[in-house]
Amino acid sequence: MEELWRLSATELAGLIRCKKVSAREAAKAALARLDSVNPRINAVVDYRPDDVLLQAAAVDAVIARGDEPGLLAGVPVTIKIGADQAGFATTDGMRLQRDHIAELDNPAVGNLRKAGAILLGRTNCPTGSYRWFSSNLIYGETRNPHDASLTPGGSSSGAGAAVAVGIGHIAHGSDIAGSIRYPAYACGVHGLRPSLGRVPHFNPSFGGRSIGGQIGAVSGPLARTINDLRIALAAMSAPSAHDPWYAPVALNGSLRPKRAAMCLNPDRLNPVPEVIAAVADAGRRLRHAGWVVEEIDDTPPMREPADILTQLWLGDGYDDQLETAEREGDPGALACLRGVRDKVYPFDLSAALARRDQLTREWFAFLDKYPVLLMPVSGELPFPDNLDLKDEASFKRVWQAQLPQVAIPLMGLPALTVSTGLARGTPVGVQLVAARFREDLCLAAGEAIEAGARPLAMC
């Protein structure tokens, strides 16, 4: 039992629930793994071993009394530093917020705690969660565990890197424009962006959210198996009165045919050959599992939704965001905001929301015809680290490649990154999209693709 960290969350929770392993043993194994590998990748930037062991003791006490310990009984999980966790600073990678101590849990974090999970540590993100790369002036850089020359993704970079090396069995992340899906892609794990309203998402310490945050931002899990994503979603999606967008919808919807549309080149993305090959191979795996896979030439619009989402995310309050970034002084945050100025300024909220309504209807109709869409996560393999800081052309290249990630949140749809293996020694994967609140369809298709893949070895 020395390598409990290697088990899936599902396996570990089962062992703890039936008293074959204690939560304390699982916590000590997780802390030992963290101490062993974290110095190499800098994924976890804040953790308190004594508190971790106290949480584990509480789970063991519940089990000893014969009470229900929760779906994630004793499973170590990590929490992104952009989410409120009572007693910890919600820095979001910013020196300006190093003393911003949360008094209450973000409801997604609270739901993990209520499900019996052990909150192991806080994972890194880029300053302000602005980039698909990971560095900030308070904690430094997180490194890709497979290849330090590549980005670990962003903004849930620490989450992806941590779960890839076995620091925790599940990682909490958040996603407004790919921040769960891209770290999963870059680090060779799976990541689920739930539907808007599925998982309650709100930081009590910050008060109200911008319109972009209300429409686009969600909390979700990253994990090494699809089934672990499934149980993490069940735990995280418990009801909360703190998020007015939360919707108490069943996790499993009505039966739909096993039918998927496969698009290799959505909205003129022009992916590199390795990405096209990964999507085509995933389509073959789906067919082998009994799915009908229809290759289509294009999806509903993606460039326009991506542009509108960018406006809602970064254009609403742009001047205030830029002023804060200038005070913080982080080169990555400044490059992001200055680089998108022409996309988001001036900002017309009414026009953006009116067009969102039309585009969402078009996507909903498409996903009524095709229960699942299979397409790229990105137009490229994981980027060289900090590529967006190289020059203007490289910045534009990054944003162009991330089109499939940025578009989907505008419509509030769920999307799943499935790691499928390696291409030229680099992690690669695919993206699955389904209708709102049909994460179950994404996960079912994801399991079929996962079954035909060779999982990446933990680094």
Kindly list the catalytic residues: 80, 155, 179
CA distance 348 to 120: 42
Q: Return the bridge partners of 261, or none.
A: 294, 373
Q: Contact, 107 vs 201, CB < 8 A?
A: yes
Distance of CA 303 to the CA centre of its chain: 21
Work out the end-to-end distance of the chain between its first and last CA atoms, rounded to an integer number of angstroms.
Answer: 19
CA distances (Å), origin 6, targets 11, 225, 292 = 10, 12, 34
